[in-house]
Chain A
Amino acid sequence: MLRPEMAGSNDNGAGTNGDRESQRVRTIIVAGQSSDRTREVLRALSGFTNVIWPTSLESALAQTSSQDAGCLVIADDLREEPIDEFLQEARELQRNLPIFVITNPDDVAEAVSAMRHGATAVIEIPPSYAALCEEVSRAMQ
């Protein structure tokens, strides 16, 4: 699991490392604001590390190149956008970047499609903090 001492940060991604400058803080990029419950869970992650919230997939993709991206989370309010194409593009640009997709419950076909197009894992709405934290933590390692 992620530990609070891994980072000092805020929701805007302007995190500081405080007295742990030698410890590398990586950024979680969350594309989209998402539903209340999902947002709540995702915001909780900002207590552990840098989290930034681009509002579109394009912007998120640009951030993966400019930030010290630890992983990218695609929130459920962006499901209307062409996720598969985006995943493919993201994979071409960032081969090793862990990408998590938060999706509608029981939509197995969509989850399989996301995995085929390069998602690292797909997490159902409402995501549990423990599950998301575990996935992100594993990815950051």
Chain B
Amino acid sequence: MKDLPQTVYVVDDDDAVRDSLRMLLKSAGVHAETCASAQEFLSSYDASQPGCLVLDVRMPGMSGLEMQHELNLRGVTMPVIFITGHGDIPMAVEAMQHGAFDFLQKPFRDQELLDRVQRALVRDAENRARLRHTDRIRERLASLSPREREVLELVTQGKANKMVAGDLGVSQRTVEIHRAHVMQKMEAGSLAELVRMMMAVAPSP
């Protein structure tokens, strides 16, 4: 599947800031879209669109930090770079604790922002690639029969076929057949690869 082009969304209530950032990003060959408020962004945002967000902290209505909270509630993982002219440590810490990618104080050098945007775009691409990878693994897992799933769980715990057979009360030959099906359906070339797949979809501790 071909990746969609990345977009940098600039959300800032200041017209001059929006225009200057759009021009700056355009000059660096980065596609940018701007919104004057958090509400405007939230009502038009398409989660399938890759990119990152440059977000002002202080805006009338919903603030940048409130918008970040809303994005977290919606499960949006797009990297957020906060920009502010009135930042302090507690504000920066709060933003970072809630998953901000970066926090930049105005005035900043153009290159500073461009560097951070580039890093955020790389992070977003990595996140999306990881997500596609785990989605594919989950699809393959869903194609397993209940018995194959049991065999998968036991072999990825390091149990030999004989032990799996004992645990499930079936013959060793039956386990071998199920195991072969598991490897085929999961498109795994080795047990190690199968274990890595299971770790990739395991819930975080």
Binding site for B on A (CB under 8 A): 103, 105-109, 111-112, 115-116, 121-124
Whether A124 contacts B105 by the Cβ 8 Å rule is: no
Interface size class of chain B, counting residues whose CB lies under 8 Å from the partner chain: 10 to 19
Q: Which residues of B contact A106 (CB under 8 A)?
A: 88-89
Q: Which residues of B contact A103 (CB under 8 A)?
A: 89
Closest chain-A Cβ to B57's Cβ sits at a distance in Å of 11
Whether A109 contacts B89 by the Cβ 8 Å rule is: no
Q: Which residues of B contact A107 (CB under 8 A)?
A: 89
Which one of B7-15, B33-41, B95-103, B145-153 contacts A?
B95-103
Cβ-closest chain A residue relative to B101: A116
Closest chain-B Cβ to A5's Cβ sits at a distance in Å of 29
Docked CA distance A107–B89 (Å): 7
B131 interface residue, CB < 8 Å from A? Answer: no
Q: Which residues of A contact B102 (CB under 8 A)?
A: 112, 116
Docked CA distance A141–B93 (Å): 20
Whether B88 contacts A108 by the Cβ 8 Å rule is: yes
Docked CA distance A110–B102 (Å): 12
Whether B89 contacts A105 by the Cβ 8 Å rule is: yes
Docked CA distance A112–B112 (Å): 14
Closest chain-A Cβ to B168's Cβ sits at a distance in Å of 35
Binding site for A on B (CB under 8 A): 87-90, 92-93, 96-97, 102-103, 105
Whether B96 contacts A108 by the Cβ 8 Å rule is: no
Q: Which residues of B contact A115 (CB under 8 A)?
A: 92-93, 96-97
Q: Which residues of A contact B92 (CB under 8 A)?
A: 108, 111-112, 115, 122
Closest chain-B Cβ to A138's Cβ sits at a distance in Å of 11
Whether B93 contacts A122 by the Cβ 8 Å rule is: yes
The 8 A-B pairs with the shortest beta carbon distances in the complex, nearest first, are A115-B96, A112-B103, A111-B89, A108-B92, A108-B87, A124-B89, A112-B92, A111-B92
Q: Which residues of B contact A111 (CB under 8 A)?
A: 89, 92-93
Q: Which residues of B contact A123 (CB under 8 A)?
A: 89
Q: Which residues of A contact B103 (CB under 8 A)?
A: 108, 112
With a 10 A CB-CB cut-off, give which of A106, A107, A108, A116 has the most chain B CB atoms: A108
Closest chain-A Cβ to B115's Cβ sits at a distance in Å of 13
Docked CA distance A108–B84 (Å): 11
Q: Which residues of B contact A124 (CB under 8 A)?
A: 89-90
Q: Which residues of A contact B87 (CB under 8 A)?
A: 108
Q: Which residues of A contact B105 (CB under 8 A)?
A: 108-109
Docked CA distance A103–B90 (Å): 12
Closest chain-B Cβ to A17's Cβ sits at a distance in Å of 29
Cβ-closest chain A residue relative to B103: A112
In the complex, besides A115-B93, A124-B90, 7 extra interface pairs with C-beta distance below 8 angstroms are A106-B89, A107-B89, A111-B89, A111-B93, A112-B102, A115-B97, A122-B89
